[in-house]
Homo-oligomer: A and B are copies of this chain.
Amino acid sequence: MPVLGVDVGGTATKAVLVDDAGAVLDVRSRPTPRRGPSVVPEVLDLVAELAWELPAERIGVAVPGIVDERRGVGVFSENLGWHDVPFKDLLADRLGRTVAFTHDVRAGALAENRIGGGRGAHTMLFLPLGTGIAAALVTGGRVHDGDGYAGELGHVDVGHGEPCLCGGTGCLEAIASASAIARRYTALTGREVCGAVDVARRVEAGEPEAAAVWDDAVEALVTALAWTASVLAPEVVVVGGGLSGANGLLLDPLAKGLSARLTFQREPRLVPAALGGLAGCHGAALAAIADHRGEPCR
């Protein structure tokens, strides 16, 4: 029984076809339609096209932003510019069958918890560091949704005092996201870089300005993780995004900083995400399987 998982990302829409056992049968990637008045019908067309190319018994679809899974509604997406779109119903109409509808980061957390870096953890934080920072929590083996509002670790005040696009001040995202690292490096040095990976290379090459920007990001992430350890006590934190493989540069300093900051709290294991950019579509497929079984596992 093949299952299709589709992850509508800010830039690319990815799809994975898996078998019963979760083995990958096929993968696709397409540009996501641009924001604008026709973005919703174009997204529906794209999902229909992928469903036609990769025939499956069940389909799960994940979208970004604020997502109310219980009502099946995409409440808000800054990047794609939609408000209150009843995706679950629209997808069912367009595809002629029931579709599992979920949130991209929570889908990623589900996948990392079931088949990825946090396999088997009862309590887990999934922290993908990308253009923005959104996180997702697993508590009691289930992904916590807070009616669609949970997981906004990117918009907690870590005390750096700089403004954030959200209107807040001191947000984690404004200092520690991949795009913030690149932007702050350019602001400091006047030198353009190809993203945070480029800044990471300069840190490894021993460039002090790059190291300063990097250390700010690590320090802010330590603050956010120390809070999370105190309040949620995850066994494991699964760090995702393009930088998560850089153990020596990211996970090691994070673990060291966290260990120095915590007193009696439980220190989580920090591990890199195992599913990379496919976590969201794997999670959408898992959501489709869970929906089919009537499980409340999300």
Contacts and interface: CB of A to CB of B under 8 A. Distances in A.
Interface of A: 66, 76, 122-123, 135, 137, 139-140, 142, 144, 146-153, 155-157, 159, 166-168, 223, 226-228, 230-235, 261-266
Contacts of A233: 146-152
B232 A168 contact: no
A236 to B, nearest CB: 12
A70 to B, nearest CB: 9
Given A156-B226, A157-B223, A226-B156, A231 B151 contact: yes
A234 B151 CA distance: 11
State how many copies of this chain the complex holds: 2
Contacts of A159: 159
A230 B152 contact: yes
B263 A146 contact: no
A264 B166 contact: yes
Given A139-B139, A140-B140, A230-B153, A235 B147 contact: yes
A150 to B, nearest CB: 4
B150 A123 contact: yes
Contacts of A166: 263-264
11 contacts: A122-B147, A123-B144, A137-B232, A139-B146, A150-B231, A150-B232, A155-B264, A159-B159, A168-B261, A168-B262, A231-B231
A146 B261 contact: no
A123 B235 CA distance: 21
A156 B263 contact: no
A77 B151 CA distance: 31
Contacts of A227: 156-157, 227, 231
B263 A135 contact: no
Contacts of A140: 139-140, 142, 144
Contact of A137 (B66, B226, B231, B235): B231
A263 B123 contact: no
